[in-house]
Amino acid sequence: MGAHSPLSRQSGFTLIELLVVIAVIAVIAAAAIPVFFGQRAKAVQTDCLTTRAHADRAQVIYTLEHGTHTDDFADLISEGLIDSAPVCPSGGILSWTQEGSLYRLDCSAHGQAASATSLTSLGSTFSDISGGLIRLIDDFYRNHGHYPRSWGDHAWEDIGLDPADWENPADNLIYKPVGNRITVTPAAGYAIEVQATDGTTRVLTSRLNWSLVYSLDTKQWYYHSIHPDNEISISTMNVHQQ
């Protein structure tokens, strides 16, 4: 009668058990919080790089169409090349900087990240690479009075690039300088879709082995071959898997 039944004991945590639980939570939080903020910082940086890549591409298109660059985002917006003025998600200051004849959008918060993740010596995006090739060929022409050679490794070496660095596609595109032209071909399994200036849609596939062609004489992009009927609006270019 005087003994207490086990069922009559009060359930609950002792102070020691609570301290153990709190300690475990603290350890988990200490490990998880840096990972969370690290992933968040990486996502913000990627967002910034993507924003700048779109602006760089718009700048290249604007320069090709007008013969000069612009420091005013309103010009790019009015041309329909971007929807709104870019903003760094980290609050960094965006500013245009010149590299030869190429203008790129740099960010005070993520300025070093772009070069660290470049796929090629000219950058990672279509605007970076095509704009860089155009600049190098233009520089060669100004210095020598004629265009670089158009065959074999000479096509790369004449403009100061290592052919071995360009054997593989960059972001599913294969680039090649050819004298006074630049060709851009989709990698295996990919297609380039683009609109002609007459509004028709043209599609290039790796199976066709056709390319987009830029002429440094006319400062215009073409579908497959340099002919007025093949002029395209490069701002409509879309690369996708077949």
pLDDT value, residue 126: 87
Of 218, 83, 100, residue with least CA distance to 159: 100
Of 102, 139, 133, residue with least CA distance to 120: 133
Half-sphere exposure of 234 (CA within 13 A, CB side): 24
**For the chain, domain boundaries:** 17-117, 118-242
Q: Does the 17-117 domain belong in CATH 3.30.1300.80?
A: yes
Per-residue pLDDT of the chain (242 residues), as tens digits, is: 455 545 444 555 676 767 777 777 776 766 555 544 445 666 777 777 777 777 877 887 887 778 788 888 888 898 888 888 888 777 777 888 776 556 778 877 776 434 444 678 787 788 888 988 998 998 899 899 999 999 999 999 999 888 988 988 988 999 999 999 999 999 988 999 999 988 899 999 878 778 999 999 999 999 999 999 999 998 889 998 88
Residue 2 and residue 131: Cα distance in Å, rounded? 93
Q: What angle do CA 56, 63, 161 make, to 5 degrees?
A: 65
Joined together, the tokens standing for residue 182 give 């630049």
pLDDT value, residue 8: 46
Name every residue whose Cβ is closer than 8 Å to that of residue 100 and which is 6 or more positions away in sequence.
135, 136, 139
Number of residues written out for the chain? 242
pLDDT value, residue 211: 93
